[in-house]
Structure 1
């Protein structure tokens, strides 16, 4: 999925738990030979996929910290499935050994998990949790019908008492089975089955409670919430495409007070409505906030999503929201405008003040917190130190402006730094600005930052910015500026050939383990020195 600046500001850095294991070790990442996990190679992969109806394949690197965390969970899930659901197989592919195979599936980060259904062409990304129970539940659900039929109320009642995820229930009155909307519901269920449970019933007790008239009713029951808090669809008749139903599910499937982490972050940001965070230190703090946060969630359903965030794991995420790491705290991120509104941290957070703060936000009476370094009084290098407060003015200065957006902890940014510095020196005195922005300290708008480093060219004629996605070498970047800049400055013809000899490329990084499959071996050698700085929990 592509992230825009509207949703990405919070995804890039949340560093807390520094890994202490050796980067060269493979402890935990590689499943034990005694487990049910199957090790696949280029020679065995295709036959194995073709001979099994459901395969969850993990593409990994032995040195990857996240792979080491996943390994034991993955093996445990495989052992559970082999005894209860033998049609489901779990397999591992070591991308440091099987580079061509991993490159063929465009594996750019570790671990990457993909689902195969009897054919290498029938592949989808795994989007479930990374704990053993979550993996088992996710894969078992794939073997079930997209829509479960509940003929008896007592069976459905039992299901609602112990939901593993949101249940979207279609309630059909007599004679509604053949309506076009019934077919649409099944289409929606098939498309979203990996994220939700879908069910259908014609039981009279549910029909009498939820159905008005002769049209089906659609109700969302959420995990951990009372049946009385269920959301009932009240929109127009469901069309053939089902877009109205998609929108309803997207908004209403969220808990009144959910939990945001690496597995749930994308679903919240994809909703693209303001996201209100409650950072807590302990479960007791969260529990104390639960009643009044849920009350706000109920009041602003579909307008604001409310989530809890465990500061012990993701505390540094507060920096991305322009807040201090002092907890508990409450902050609202307007995803569409990419603006942050936080409660005053000069005094301890009073939960009773949150309701009034949210009211002021809805009324447009709050000022956003804008993060920027001070504008430098002078530039001490040919590489321009750009800050948020002057970002727009510089990139629209009638010059070709090539900008690097980086994070200080990013090892790949550090590797690129001397190359970028040398690049800037080539353009001294020219109408080209080579600049860098520390994105952890500066807010910028209108830039699609997916990872660090992100390189963007702003042409002098004011046309749309152009993103650089090539090798990180001096020659390649200079050619890019010449070909895509409005001024067409060919700096390479103005210097001696030995001064612009090719420099080793540097891969971009989006997470601790985000390296291309083809560059995995080179990254493995460098990861030890960088691990302390790059290992962190990501949302």
Structure 2
């Protein structure tokens, strides 16, 4: 009996030891691996972790995933500031967990609250966005930090731009997808600028409510962003992600024209491949310096090398007088047919006077056109561009310069006719050349003339098969005599176009839109544009309604992505609507109102020549 009792007691002790061992083992398993504040989960510890932490956010990722890499540091920073643990699962290793939770892409974030779930995470992919999303769901008393982006209305807008030297304003619509995507980046940029001690302020305007502000600032699409400096507005041409916005606006906060105190500073400042503009001023306290500074602000995107000096040695070297403003041409593209610099010095010059001077003389006789400078240096027409392997780096400069000299010899003869010339790299403009039918022309040098009329005149390989100078000379004679044929990008004209809205393509634009017997309302659209798709049935209804009552008005549409239109019909967003009344075809009127049928009718009635002749026709 004693043996039985001892044996029974021993069995009990063994069982207790086993249970305690299992409990210890279970506790050990709960000592999860941590990676920068984030819990690392596996198939073995996942359920135990959820049991112990019924509220959590789990990121399923792949090590090779670019979006995952971008999210990782933001997720790690957020993990130290939220009230629940953040965890992660390498779904390429823990494949069973991936299958269990139906992970289809990376990163995927799943949220559990009080043991219920999972639900999909749909918040921001930055630290602030993660914190706000999580805390708003787990803490009933949570209040998000106040926005750094100021909400602007007609009541506070003027005070905001008056009290802040430099601001960036976003005009948005609540339903706009691009605006929704921009919003967290815009707020993050505002926070970063504040943290850096920047004086730049960011504001936002709901342009669907503040319509007067939208009209005043020329808002025709969303989002529209404007830089406002000392109450003067400029288009924002920077990125739409936080880091890019911060960098762009930080640059905007610097002076547009660099102060150069010594002669050697100016010599180092001079650009080797672009024009350099230097203002020579005895004092910065003058109307001339103010006009120069204003013009520099307006041109900061066009001219990166603008400076000013009061150094006597600089005045002496360039024989400058006070208030002289000199454009220096880059030595790389200078020729014997043109001066090395041009000087402006007129009393009481305004910033507008200087703008006109800079733009008129911003390019050498034959410079290099690039994608970057085409919209600033080479907008004046007519423009003759010679495309070839134009590479002016040291290794290829000699060959590229040989052909540029050929162009120079002809360009100098056409200066009196106001023709501008440039060379360009054919690879950089390969898409444009293909669109003009020159993608596989077989010519070593392709030539395109951009005319006054907005038309493009490509040199045909069928007509020109000689050397560059011979071809260019003959082609310029064709251009001058009006015998050159313009290229018009055009989709095929529809064979059966009996609908209420006429379909316009490049080849029939003149026939339909420039018909002097009709007033024509034309919509330029893109097939992928959501606004265009929603507007289409309304536009058809309007056309149908006017078909009988207004026989002298035509409603038309053109796919602007595959057709060319004359330059006076500028299209910067979709849809864009113009009215071309009889007698004013060369000066079409852009519609900037709501896409409302009654507003469109009133617009046509106001400007109609052949149509809407009676007041009661409205």
**TM-score bucket (shorter structure):** 0.5 to 0.7
Does 2:582 align with 1:452? no
Asked whether the 8 Å contact 2:454–2:567 carries over to 1, the reply is no
> What is the CA–CA distance in structure 1 between the aligned matches of 2:617 and 2:179, rounded to whole Å?
45
Question: Which residues of 2 match residues 167-246 of structure 1 at below 5 A?
Answer: 167-171=276-280, 177=282, 183-184=287-288, 186-194=290-298, 195=300, 196=303, 197-204=306-313, 206-207=314-315, 209-211=317-319, 218-221=325-328, 232-234=340-342, 238-241=346-349, 245-246=354-355
Aligned runs of 1:84-483 on 2, under 5 Å?
Answer: 86-91=197-202, 93=204, 95=206, 103=214, 106=217, 107-116=219-228, 122-127=231-236, 129-130=238-239, 136=247, 139=250, 142-144=253-255, 148-160=258-270, 167-171=276-280, 177=282, 183-184=287-288, 186-194=290-298, 195=300, 196=303, 197-204=306-313, 206-207=314-315, 209-211=317-319, 218-221=325-328, 232-234=340-342, 238-241=346-349, 245-254=354-363, 256-261=367-372, 266-268=375-377, 270-274=379-383, 276=385, 291=401, 300=411, 303-306=420-423, 322-323=436-437, 330=446, 332=448, 334=450, 336-344=452-460, 358-360=472-474, 362-365=476-479, 366-373=484-491, 379-394=497-512, 395-428=514-547, 430-445=551-566, 447-450=568-571, 451-459=573-581, 465-482=588-605
CA RMSD of aligned residues (A): 5.8
Distance of 2:520 and 2:359 partners within structure 1: 39
How far apart are 1:337 and its partner, in Å?
1.7
TM-score by length of 2: 0.54
Alignment partner, residue 40 of structure 1: 150
Cα distance change on mapping 1:108 and 1:304 into 2, 3 Å: same
* Count of residue pairs brought into register by the alignment: 450
Q: C-alpha deviations, 1:412-466, integer Å up to 9, x for none?
A: 3333333333333334464443333344444443743334333344445778654
Tell whether the 8 Å contact from 1:168 to 1:219 is kept in structure 2 after alignment. yes
TM-score with structure 1 setting the length = 0.60
Given the superposition, is the C-alpha separation of residues 199 and 295 from structure 1 closer, same or farther in structure 2, using an over 3 Å criterion? farther
The structural deviation recorded for 1:338 is 0.8
Q: Helix, strand or coil: the match of 1:38?
A: coil
Shift in Å at residue 199 of structure 1? 1.3
By relative contact order (CA 8 Å, sep 6+), the higher-ranking structure is 1
Please tell me whether the aligned partners of residues 221 and 227 of structure 1 are also in contact (alpha carbons under 8 angstroms): no
Contact 2:500–2:543, Cα closer than 8 Å, also in 1 = yes
**Contact 2:328-2:342 at 8 Å conserved across structures:** no
Checking the alignment, whether the CA contact within 8 Å between 1:81 and 1:136 is kept in structure 2 is: no
Q: Structure 1 residues 233, 308: closer, same or farther in 2, change over 3 A? A: same
User: In the superposition, relative to structure 1, how do residues 436 and 228 fare at CA in structure 2: closer, same or farther (>3 Å)?
Assistant: closer
Over 3 Å counting, the alpha-carbon distance change for 1:259 and 1:135 in structure 2 is farther
SS, match of residue 426 in structure 1: helix
Contact 1:29 1:61 in 2 (8 A): no
Q: In 2, distance between residues paired with 1:103 and 1:387?
A: 31
1:247-292: CA deviation from partner (whole Å, max 9, x where unpaired) = 442144348324325xx564246545527385999999x9789646
Kindly indicate whether the alpha-carbon contact (under 8 Å) linking 1:238 and 1:244 is maintained by their aligned counterparts in 2.
no
Q: For 2:431 and 2:538, how far apart are their aligned partners in 1?
A: 29
